[in-house]
């Protein structure tokens, strides 16, 4: 689904990511760990096509097509959707305005909005005075309205209380398995996993989100490099025990 | 002005015939009026006053709660009009008020009856038809104690010509005890019109005055700075302006609010957007009464390097127990906002329109529907001018 080939990204002539290679298959969920400032957000912004993130080397392929030079909206139309860590305030544009423009006009979002506890901020301006949890729930509502095939999730649990982490985690998991939402109770985790079509790329600092979303693999970033790859649970445990520094020495090193 | 004001002639009062039936107006006139926010379908149900050059072309109202008269008829009917006449605007204030005084007597008179709330907005339309002339208007609005009235004033002119014209309007607005007046003005002038409204407002105890002003077209030059005196306890006002200046336009728009009594308050918010013209946004709040509160805000969006937005905020605090503040921000459309909306699938153009539209209407509470429509209609044009 997504192939990142030897990607080097600069911000204002400063190299942030160096020769990154990542492959995410259809239906696969990959977790991305790394200390603050290691370049996780930079990678997702570059995948989205943000202007400030200069791709100076390498290519991005999505569904087999080279998207390195496509505009943001063209990528979105191809099926990439992102949940931002710190989205900007847009005065005068409500959450409702945007989901109705972004989503399918035929769809009724009221039930979804209700489920996400979003009714209270639907008619507020985007991210204007939103709490941490409200930002995430609004981002998620927008993401669902886009029905993306690849979900780029930038710290979906950061700044959110326990209750919201659970709501957000479960909703993300449902979205990833959306073709199964109705029949999910009759299916085992393994069966659900096999039927899954959507892919996910999840940045997480704490790993909490992984209690609700089962990642297949994990990648660790330090200083704009991939330093480690492995089983998400094992990698997370190692980070928790020894910190990221130890990760650098990890034997599964790439 | 390529001609001095003294040299501009004023049309005669009987130049244009009275038109009983609004639907019989010419198609061109109707179109201009609609763009100035006048709803012709609701016509006399609401109350409609139409003045073309110096002629009263229509004046009728079916609501009992409000009186709508030409100034001439009002002065025949009431002998105490002198109490309201030139009391809030001084005739010798400047050359424009002097000119109105010279030509005095033509305009509208609106009186909301005591304790009565009007359902429909009263509409007035001031239409400058003959280029190369000056239109002078003198209006009086009285909201008697406990009344509520919405007034929509649309000001417009005929299609572009090469001669400069001028519109000079003196308006005196009395908001009595506990009354509420919403006064919305849409300017829809052409490139060769010079506009000088001169407005004074007096708000008594518990009275509320809400002004919404919109100018989005290529007017040559507008300069106005209405003054509102809060003379009674708890009187409040808000002044909202939505200003769009295409290339060649010069808008110098402000509000001066004098919080003279205890616990009075005001909010002055202006949204200024230039696609090449110049906007000067002024605001003055003078806090003279105990616990007076005022907030002044100007948000500016510069969409072209040829344009300019200049803000002049003034706060004058004369007591310790008052609260006055101002904030201003001027810049271009933020790249991170555009990209964020694109990340929801909007094209760059769609993202910019949505942001511009949001910018113009955000935080202006209770904007009449017709003004919202005017904004929508103009956003496309703004983009065309800017990019
Ligand atoms: N807009 C920017 N301008 C300059 N430097 C930036 C900008 N955004 C990020 N950086 C730098 O890029 C590096 C990676 O940041 P980021 O991708 O946000 O890290 P992470 O998401 O892993 O915490 C940091 O050193 C950060 O300071
Ligand atoms: Mg980050």
By the CB < 8 Å criterion, does A12 face chain B?
no
Average pLDDT over residues B107-120: 95
What integer pLDDT is reported at residue A182 of this predicted model? 41
Q: CB distance A76–B347 less than 8 Å?
A: no
Tens of pLDDT along A196-246?
689 999 999 888 899 999 999 999 999 998 988 989 998 888 888 888 877
In a shared domain, residues B152 and B228:
yes
* B4 found inside a domain: no
Chain A hits for B357, CB-CB cut-off 8 Å, are 92
Residue B353 alpha carbon to ligand 1 centre in Å? 29
Quick check: is B15 in a domain? no
B129-174: per-residue pLDDT in tens?
888 889 999 999 999 999 999 999 998 887 666 778 899 999 999 9
pLDDT at A180 over 50: no
Most confident of A231-235, B80-84, B278-282: B278-282
Q: Which residue is closest in CA terms to ligand 1's atom 6?
A: A11
Beta carbons of A91 and B335 less than 8 Å apart: no
- Work out how many CB contacts closer than 8 A connect A with B: 70
Answer whether residue A192 shows pLDDT above 60: no
A146-162 residues labelled b (16+ CB within 10 A) or e (exposed): bebbbbbbbbbbbebee
**A128 in a structural domain:** yes
Residue A144 lies in domain: 24-40+64-249
Residue B101 sits in the same domain as residue B225: yes
Average pLDDT over residues B49-61: 93
- Does residue B63 sit in the same domain as residue B91? yes
**Rounded to 10 degrees, what is the CA torsion of A65, A68, A69, A71?**
90
Mean pLDDT of B287-312: 94
**Predicted local distance difference test score (pLDDT) of residue B161:** 66
A147 touches chain B (CB under 8 A): no
Q: Does residue B207 sit in the same domain as residue B315?
A: yes
DSSP A71: -
Mean per-residue pLDDT, B99-112:
93
CB contact under 8 A, A90 and B350: no
- Rounded to the nearest angstrom, the minimum Cα separation between A105 and chain B is 14
User: Do B55 and B67 belong to one domain?
Assistant: yes
Which of B307, B332, B357 is the last residue in one of the domains?
A: B332
- The answer to whether residue A92 neighbours chain B at the CB level (below 8 Å) is yes
In a domain, B373, yes or no: yes
Structure tokens at B1: 């002005």
CA A85 to centroid of ligand 2, rounded, Å: 7
Q: Are residues B176 and B292 in the same domain?
A: yes
- A186 vs B304, residue with greater confidence: B304
Ligand with the closest atom to the CA of A221: 1
pLDDT value of residue A181: 44
B342 shares a domain with B230: no
Q: Are A91 and B361 an interchain contact pair (Cβ–Cβ within 8 Å)?
A: no
B363 contacts in chain A (CB < 8 Å): 91-92
Find the CATH number of the domain harbouring A204.
3.40.50.300
Judge whether A1 lies within some domain.
Answer: no
pLDDT for B1? 43
Higher model confidence: residue A190 or residue B247?
B247
- Classify residue B290 by burial, with Cβ atoms within 10 Å: 0-12, 13-18, 19+: middle
Closest to B316 measured CA to CA, from B283, B280, B349, B271: B283
* Torsion angles phi and psi, residue B170, rounded to 5: -105, 125
Report CA B57 to chain centroid distance, whole Å.
Answer: 21
- The rounded distance, in Å, linking the Cα atoms of B81 and B111 is 12
Residues flanking ligand 1, CB < 6 Å = A 11-12, 16, 34, 36-42, 52
Is the residue at B9 inside a domain?
Answer: no
Task: Kindly give the distance from the C-alpha atom of residue A32 to the centroid of ligand 2, in angstroms, as a whole number.
Answer: 11
CB contact, 8 Å: A72 with chain B? yes
A positions 233-252 inside 8 Å of B (CB): none
How confident is the model at residue A253, as a pLDDT?
47
Residues B212-261 pLDDT 10s: 998 888 778 899 999 999 999 999 999 999 999 999 899 999 999 999 99
Residue A236 falls inside a structural domain: yes
- Asked whether the predicted pLDDT for residue B384 surpasses 90, the reply is no
Of B332, B358, B374, the one marking the end of a domain is B332
Assigned domain for A52 exists? no
Range of the domain at B356: 333-387
Pairing between β-strand B108-112 and β-strand B66-70 as defined by DSSP bridges: antiparallel
What is the length of chain A? Answer: 254
- Distance CA(A221)–CA(A225), nearest Å, equals 5
Indicate the number of domains in chain B: 2
Closest residue of A to B345, CA-based? A73
Which of B314, B332, B350 is the last residue before a domain boundary? Answer: B332
How close, in Å, is residue B336 to chain A by CA atoms?
A: 7
* Binary contact (B355, A146; C-beta < 8 A): no
The band of B198, judged by pLDDT with boundaries at 50, 70 and 90, is very high
Residue A171 lies in a domain: yes
Res A57: pLDDT: 95
Measured between CB atoms, does A109 come within 8 Å of chain B? no
pLDDT higher than threshold 70 for residue A251? no
Residue B216 shares a structural domain with residue B170: yes
The mean pLDDT of B321-349, rounded to a whole number, is: 94
In a domain, B340, yes or no: yes
Residue A76 touches partner B, C-beta closer than 8 Å: yes
Domain count along chain A: 1
Q: What pLDDT, in 10s, does the model give residues A97-147? A: 888 887 666 667 788 888 888 899 999 999 999 999 999 999 999 998 888
Say yes or no to pLDDT of A67 above 90: yes
Ligand nearest to C-alpha A42: 1
Residue A11 domain flag? no
The model's pLDDT over A3-23, given as tens digits with 9 standing for 90+, comes to 999 999 999 999 999 999 999
B176 within a domain of the structure (yes/no): yes
Residues 6 or more apart from B215 whose CB is under 8 A from it?
B186, B187, B189, B222, B241, B242, B243, B244, B251, B253
pLDDT band at A183 (very low <50, low <70, confident <90, very high): very low
- Whether residue B245 is found in the same domain as residue B348: no
pLDDT value of residue A58: 96
Classify residue B320: in a domain, yes or no.
Answer: yes
Question: Is B1 inside a domain boundary?
Answer: no
**Span B15-29, average pLDDT:** 87
* Residues B289, B260 share a domain: yes
List pLDDT tens digits, range A22-35: 999 999 999 999 99
pLDDT higher than 60, residue A159: yes
Q: Identify whether A10 is part of a domain.
A: no
Return d(Cα B70, Cα A10) in angstroms, integer.
Answer: 69
Give me chain B's average pLDDT, please.
90
List, as one string, the DSSP characters of A209-240: GGGTS--SEEEEEETTEEEEEE-HHHHHHHHH
């Amino acid at each position: 689904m997504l192939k990142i080939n030897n990607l080097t990204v600069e911000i204002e002539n400063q190299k942030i990511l160096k020769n990154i290679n990542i492959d995410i298959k259809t239906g696969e969920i990959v977790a991305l760990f790394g200390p603050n400032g290691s370049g996780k957000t930079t990678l997702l912004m570059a995948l989205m096509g943000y202007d400030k993130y200069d791709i100076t080397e390498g290519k991005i392929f999505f569904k087999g097509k080279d998207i390195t030079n496509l505009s943001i909206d063209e990528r979105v139309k191809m099926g990439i959707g992102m949940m931002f860590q710190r989205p900007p305030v847009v005065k005068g544009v409500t959450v409702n305005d945007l989901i109705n423009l972004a989503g399918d006009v035929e769809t009724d979002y009221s039930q979804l909005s209700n489920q996400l506890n979003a009714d209270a901020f639907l008619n507020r301006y985007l991210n204007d005075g939103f709490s941490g949890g409200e930002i995430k729930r609004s981002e998620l509502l927008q993401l669902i309205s886009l029905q993306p095939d690849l979900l780029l999730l930038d710290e979906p649990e950061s700044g959110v209380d326990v209750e919201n982490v659970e709501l957000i985690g479960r909703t993300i998991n449902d979205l990833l398995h959306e073709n199964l939402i109705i029949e999910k109770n009759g299916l085992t985790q393994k069966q659900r996993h096999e039927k899954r079509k959507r892919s996910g790329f999840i940045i997480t600092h704490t790993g909490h989100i992984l209690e609700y979303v089962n990642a297949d693999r994990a990648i660790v970033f330090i200083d704009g490099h991939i330093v480690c790859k492995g089983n998400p649970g094992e990698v997370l445990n190692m980070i928790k025990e020894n910190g990221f520094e130890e990760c650098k020495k990890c034997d599964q090193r790439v | 002005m390529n001609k001095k004001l003294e040299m501009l002639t004023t049309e005669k009062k009987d130049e244009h015939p009275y038109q009983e039936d609004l639907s019989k107006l010419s198609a061109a006139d109707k179109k201009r009026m609609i763009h100035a926010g006048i709803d012709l379908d609701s016509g006399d149900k609401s109350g409609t006053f139409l003045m073309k050059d110096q002629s009263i072309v229509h004046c009728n109202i079916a609501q009992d709660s409000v009186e709508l008269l030409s100034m001439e008829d009002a002065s025949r009917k009431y002998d105490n009009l002198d109490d309201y006449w030139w009391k809030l605007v001084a005739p010798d204030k400047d050359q424009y008020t002097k000119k109105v005084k010279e030509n005095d007597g033509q305009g509208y008179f609106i009186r909301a009856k005591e304790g009565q709330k009007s359902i429909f907005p009263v509409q007035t339309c001031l239409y400058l038809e003959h280029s190369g002339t000056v239109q002078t208007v003198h209006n009086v609005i009285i909201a008697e104690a406990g009344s509520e009235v919405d007034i929509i004033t649309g000001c417009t002119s005929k299609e572009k010509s090469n001669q400069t014209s001028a519109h000079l309007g003196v308006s005196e607005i009395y908001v009595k005890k506990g009354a509420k007046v919403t006064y919305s003005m849409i300017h829809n002038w052409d490139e060769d019109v010079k506009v000088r409204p001169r407005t004074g407002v007096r708000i008594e105890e518990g009275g509320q005055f809400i002004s919404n002003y919109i100018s989005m077209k290529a007017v040559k030059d507008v300069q106005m700075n209405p003054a509102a005196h809060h003379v009674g306890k708890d009187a409040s006002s808000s002044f909202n302006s939505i200003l769009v200046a295409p290339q060649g336009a010069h808008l110098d728009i402000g509000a001066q609010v004098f919080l003279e009594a205890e616990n009075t308050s005001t909010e002055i918010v202006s949204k200024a957007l230039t696609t090449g013209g110049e906007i000067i946004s002024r605001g003055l709040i003078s806090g003279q009464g105990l616990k007076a509160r005022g907030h002044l805000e100007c948000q500016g969006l510069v969409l072209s390097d040829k344009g300019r937005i200049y803000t002049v905020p003034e706060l004058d605090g004369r007591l310790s127990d008052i609260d006055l503040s101002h904030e201003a921000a001027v810049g271009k459309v933020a790249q991170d906002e555009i990209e964020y909306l694109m990340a929801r699938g909007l094209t760059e153009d769609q993202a910019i329109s949505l942001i511009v539209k949001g910018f113009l209407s955000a935080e202006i509470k209770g904007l009449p529907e017709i003004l919202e429509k005017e904004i929508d209609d103009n956003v496309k044009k703004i983009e065309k001018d800017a990019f």
